[in-house]
Amino acid sequence: MSTATSTASEGKHYLNAKHTVLSWLLTVDHKRIGMMYLVSLVVFFLIGGAAAVLFRLELMTPAGDLLRSETYNKLFTMHGIVMIFFFLIPSIPAVLGNFLLPIMVGTRDVAFPKLNLASWYVFMLGGILAFVAIVGGGVDTGWTFYTPYSTMYANSNVILAVCGAFIAGFSSIMTALNFVVTIHKMRAPGLTWFRLPLFVWAMYATSLVVLLGTPVVAITLVMIFVERAFGLGIFNPALGGDPVLFQHLFWFYSHPAVYIMILPSMGVVSEIIACFSRRRIYGYKFVAYSSLAIAVIGFFVWGHHMFVSSQSTYAGMIFSFLTFFVAVPTAIKVLNWTMTMYKGSISLEAPMLYAFGFLGLFTIGGMTGLFLSTLATDIHLHDTYFVVAHFHYVMVGGGVMGFLGGLHFWWPKMTGRMYPEGWAIFAAIVIFVGFNLTFFPQFQLGYHGMPRRYHEYPADFQVLHIMSTAGASVLGFGYLLMAGYLGWSLKFGKKAGANPWDARGLEWETSSPPPTENFLVPPVVRHEAYAYEFESETSPESHPSSESSA
């Protein structure tokens, strides 16, 4: 692909192809749409993070002296809604997936580029509605919108927030639909299913979950909407309706939604570990199939969120039993990543640190999940900080770490600039330490009986709460540091060559940043994925970077 690098030196790529604001707002280029998502997600992350800062401050003291309880409820609801619906669920698919997936399968764009653009607008519309609901009075139902509270008692802003989440759901459906069709119908010549990067497999599995699950939460939110706005009775106990039915329908989507957040991270981690161990992923097919297995099994377990609702004990037993099965494909993945690193030549750049962070934290998150999926222990731990710590280990320790690792790994490809490695390593360590300091004490808090969602607590818990708040500040500092040097690198970072990591995969065979249609010469694939035993055609040694040839 020497043609790619030589024309890159002429300086035309997707970022500078056109400059007007309108050329961004009306773009159908999957790379630009991915970048637009990135910017939007950063804003949502800041909003969700700000809420967390406020309620962590409140929790420094046992008394409720900073916030009133209603305000506190609104803040954690805002944190949950924004972080889950508007950051975690779209994070990797909409940013990295949009940017990379068409390049990884060697095509010019996704199958339906206009639909892809529409997904961003739909997403923003949903985000704005949710934001209006939050600012204009706030919502205090928690991100789960449980009935009958949401339908009968909460203030009417809940209608707006529900609409926002409903609309945002369509954006993930559009993205997922695009990905599945693109993977099926638009792979480059020679790119068979088992030559696909595992990131693509992960995106495929994620998309299936989105397609089968999201519509269910959509109709569930519609039911809340018609009950709340038009006075119909769907879950209304006074009419004989069952509020627990809402929980069934809600968790039918929202448990698999955890896999919408985690599967993409697993895909990212596969790419990173292969590259920085210089080895092909051990048991490639097992890792690929385990993504599908997680996607499927994830749909059979939702009732583990309802052990202490009025769900029957027998159903609880079934769901508890089934839940343990999710651990199997997950364990296969962790084992295979470990085996990949075994006797590999490992180098510890920032993306690899995040991958390590993912492995450790996600494993803790997964293992503590076993306590919660066991019926008897869950009776004790349900709705305590143990649960809070568990899902933050999964969703932040797993999901966000994977996202940050991927962001660093592909930052040179997306922006054409290297981030400063030293700062990145420092920030990765700060984030890791801050994260653990924030959430590890919460396991203890929960085990000792501190319930979630209260702004006051017995004085005995204060030490652990202060540790948690201190950790949150460290974590926040780490994020800001990262935002700082990444922003800095956009202008001052070293120019990146086509393949700064000497990695394998089609995305590294085109220039950084890629040209508008991704490849100047349509690629043909001749190798398995992760062919680290072969010399790369675009390795930094064999080709001068665009900087030096300019």
Partner 1 sequence: MEHPVVPVSTYLKIFAALMVLTALTVAVAFIDWGFFNDVVAMTIAVIKALLVVSVFMHLKYSARLLWLIAGSSVVWFMVMVGLTLTDYRSRDWLLHEGMRPEPWHSVPAEVMQDAAPSGHNGAEAGSTGH
Partner 2 sequence: MSDSHPSYLAHQFDDVEQQRQASTMGIWLFLITEVMFFGGLFTGYIVYRGMYPEAWKLGSHELNILLGAINTAVLILSSLTMALSVHAAQLGEQKKLSRNLLATIGLGGVFLVIKAFEYKAKFGHHLVPGEHFHFEGPFSNQVQLFYSFYFTMTGMHAIHMVIGIGILFWLWAQSRKGKFHKDYYNPVEVTGLYWHFVDLVWIFLFPLLYLIGRH
Site string for partner 2, 507-536 (x = CB under 8 A): ----------x----x--------------
d(CA 309, CA 145): 15
Nearest to partner 2 of 245, 327 (CB atom): 245
Window 29-58: residues binding partner 1 (CB under 8 A): none
Site of tokens 């710590």: 389
- Binder to partner 1 among 186, 318, 335, 425 (CB under 8 A)? 318
- Binder to partner 1 among 145, 201, 235, 252 (CB under 8 A)? 252
Nearest to partner 2 of 118, 186 (CB atom): 186
Q: At its nearest, how many Å lie between partner 2 and the CB of residue 196?
A: 17
Residue 198 partner contact from partner 2, partner 1, Cu ion, none using kind-dependent CB cut-offs of 5 to 8 Å: none
Please list the residues that pair with 495 across neighbouring strands.
417
Nearest to partner 2 of 17, 226 (CB atom): 226
Window 136-175: residues binding partner 2 (CB under 8 A): 173
Closest residue by beta carbon to Cu ion:
255
Q: At its nearest, how many Å lie between partner 2 and the CB of residue 220?
A: 6
Q: How distant, in Å, are the alpha carbons of 32, 234, 349, 421, 498 from that of 352?
A: 26, 49, 5, 12, 20
Nearest to partner 1 of 55, 170 (CB atom): 170
Residue 226 partner contact from partner 1, Cu ion, partner 2, none using kind-dependent CB cut-offs of 5 to 8 Å: partner 2
Angle between helices 350-373 and 243-277 (to 10 degrees): 150
- Binder to partner 2 among 4, 122, 163, 218 (CB under 8 A)? 218
| Torsion sign across C-alpha atoms 94, 100, 103, 104 | negative
- Binder to Cu ion among 13, 30, 228, 255 (CB under 5 A)? 255
d(CA 153, CA 454): 19
d(CA 128, CA 160): 10
211 binds partner 2 (CB under 8 A): yes
Q: Is residue 180 within 8 Å of residue 98, measured between CB atoms?
A: no
Residue 105 partner contact from partner 1, Cu ion, partner 2, none using kind-dependent CB cut-offs of 5 to 8 Å: none
232 binds partner 2 (CB under 8 A): yes
Q: Is residue 392 within 8 Å of residue 439, measured between CB atoms?
A: yes
222 binds partner 2 (CB under 8 A): yes
- Binder to partner 1 among 11, 237, 458, 484 (CB under 8 A)? 237
Number of residues that bind partner 1 (CB under 8 A): 26
- Write the burial class of residue 108 (CB in 10 Å: 0-12 exposed, 13-18 middle, 19+ buried): middle
- Binder to partner 1 among 282, 302, 432, 461 (CB under 8 A)? 302
Nearest to partner 1 of 12, 185 (CB atom): 185
d(CA 534, CA 152): 64
In one-letter notation, the amino acid at residue 209 is: V
- Binder to partner 1 among 314, 343, 459, 491 (CB under 8 A)? 314
Q: How distant, in Å, are the alpha carbons of 86, 411, 526 from that of 150?
A: 20, 41, 55
Nearest to partner 1 of 67, 244 (CB atom): 244
Residue 319 partner contact from Cu ion, partner 1, partner 2, none using kind-dependent CB cut-offs of 5 to 8 Å: partner 1
Closest-CA residue to 84 (of 183, 214, 189)? 214
d(CA 111, CA 30): 10
Residue 19 partner contact from partner 2, partner 1, Cu ion, none using kind-dependent CB cut-offs of 5 to 8 Å: none
Nearest to partner 2 of 91, 107 (CB atom): 107
DSSP 263-292: HHHHHHHHHHHHHHHTSPPTTHHHHHHHHH
- Binder to partner 1 among 24, 286, 300, 325 (CB under 8 A)? 300
User: How many Cβ atoms are within 10 Å of 496's Cβ, its own excluded?
Assistant: 25
d(CA 286, CA 138): 46
d(CA 546, CA 11): 9
Residue partners of 490: CB distance under 8 A and separation at least 6: 415, 417
d(CA 278, CA 131): 44
Residue 255 partner contact from Cu ion, partner 2, partner 1, none using kind-dependent CB cut-offs of 5 to 8 Å: Cu ion
- Binder to partner 2 among 36, 92, 177, 450 (CB under 8 A)? 177
Q: How distant, in Å, are the alpha carbons of 130, 148, 159, 224 from that of 230?
A: 20, 15, 11, 10
376 binds partner 1 (CB under 8 A): no
Q: Is residue 37 within 8 Å of residue 98, measured between CB atoms?
A: yes
Q: At its nearest, how many Å lie between partner 2 and the CB of residue 164?
A: 18
Angle between helices 350-373 and 421-447 (to 10 degrees): 10
- Binder to partner 1 among 240, 343, 491, 541 (CB under 8 A)? 240
Q: At its nearest, how many Å lie between partner 2 and the CB of residue 213?
A: 7
246 binds partner 1 (CB under 8 A): no
Q: At its nearest, how many Å lie between partner 1 and the CB of residue 310?
A: 6
In sequence order, which ranges of 298-452 are alpha helices (DSSP H)?
313-341, 350-373, 375-381, 385-392, 401-415, 421-447
Residue 113 partner contact from partner 2, Cu ion, partner 1, none using kind-dependent CB cut-offs of 5 to 8 Å: partner 2
Instruction: Give the distance from CA 296 to its chain's centroid.
Output: 19
**Binding residues for partner 2 (CB under 8 A):** 107-113, 173, 177, 180-181, 184-186, 211-216, 218-220, 222-223, 226-227, 230-234, 236, 238-242, 245, 248-249, 252, 517, 522
Chain positions contacting partner 1, by CB under 8 A: 184, 212, 216, 237-240, 242, 244-245, 248-249, 252, 299-300, 302-303, 306, 310-315, 318-319
